[in-house]
Amino acid sequence: MSTPAAPAAAPPPLDVRGVTVRFAGLLALDDVSFTVAPGTVHAVIGPNGAGKSTCFNVLSGLYRPSAGTVRLGAAELTRLAPHRIAALGVARTFQNIVTTQGTVADNLMLGRHALSHAGFAASALRLPRALREQRAHLAKAREIAELIGLGAHFDSPVALLSYGDRKRVELARALCLEPRVLLLDEPVAGMNAAERTRMTGVIEEIRAELGLSVVLVEHDMGLVMRLADEVTVLDFGRAIAHGTPDEVRRDPEVLRAYLGTAGAGEDAA
């Protein structure tokens, strides 16, 4: 199977410092700080309403914090628009599937749009340089589809795919941006056991093959404990614990606020 080559250099660290978000008096995030080390999987977990989605929306530029900073290496992301953050190498998926009509190839080519240099006029006129670039982007999209296990569905309409396959289409489209940091918002939400197992393997493979950093929000604690190198636990907008999965699941504050009496391998959603 043909797979995309791993990047030549490790991604820069993603550094979140003192991020605070307020909505009409509601404190959604309260002085949250953590660092995603290059090439690691960093999970952000917590009960419903803990601030996980707000955190992701800050990282991807959908929300601007009231205070604090987000940096990718030397680049300051805090005040940038989402498309500029994406251009710097931060891609995300969403909890709810977001795909367009058309084939898997059509959806993946949307992820290549930000990397296009031919320009609208050259593409509309089908100039040779635009056609060459289009063929190169299509070949790259097919490589990523093969890596994700969607090669056989590359020319299939997305609407005909299973739920699990459509979730993987969204993941593949994010990878088509060739990100250095991938934000995965509940990647196995709504999946059955077989689909969850398959998606977990896919995430492990893309991390190994591409060497990118992954920030993961997920309620499935079994997946978190298997994939994450580091975990940050949020509760009512505050970071109450940081550490390895083993350290976090033994933390008294986490047991009180999030896991309760549930075992670390159980789904605490």
Instruction: Read off the DSSP letter of residue 157.
Output: B
Encode 48-68: b = buried (16+ Cβ within 10 Å), e = exposed. Answer: eebbbbbbbbbbbbebebeeb
Share of the chain above pLDDT 90, in %: 67
User: Is the Cβ–Cβ distance between 68 and 191 less than 8 Å?
Assistant: no
pLDDT of 24 over the 50 cut: yes
> What pLDDT digit, counting tens, does each position of 189-206 carry?
989 999 999 999 999 999
pTM, entire model: 0.84
Residue ranges of E strands in the chain: 14-23, 26-36, 41-45, 67-72, 75-76, 90-92, 181-185, 213-217, 230-235, 238-243
Q: Distance between CA 52 and CA 201 in Å, rounded?
A: 23
Question: Would strands 181-185 and 213-217 be described as parallel, antiparallel, or unpaired?
Answer: parallel
Query: The tokens of 131 are what?
Result: 């056609």
Supply the DSSP symbol for 257. Answer: I
- Percentage of the chain beyond pLDDT 70 is 86
pLDDT at 100 (0 to 100): 72
Which has the minimum average pLDDT: 8-22, 64-78, 122-136, 193-207? Answer: 122-136
Report whether 128 contacts 156 (CB < 8 A).
Answer: no
In tens, the pLDDT along 48-85 reads 889 999 999 999 999 999 999 999 999 999 999 999 99
What is the per-residue DSSP string for 177-191?
Answer: T--SEEEEESTTTT-
pLDDT higher than threshold 60 for residue 127: no
User: How many residues would you count in the chain?
Assistant: 269
What is the spatial distance between Cα 251 and Cα 243, in angstroms, rounded to a whole number? 9
The helix/strand/coil state of 79 is coil
> Which structural domains are found in the chain, ordered by start?
1-89+179-269 (3.40.50.300), 103-177 (no CATH)
**Hey, CA dihedral for 254, 257, 261, 262, is it positive or negative?**
negative
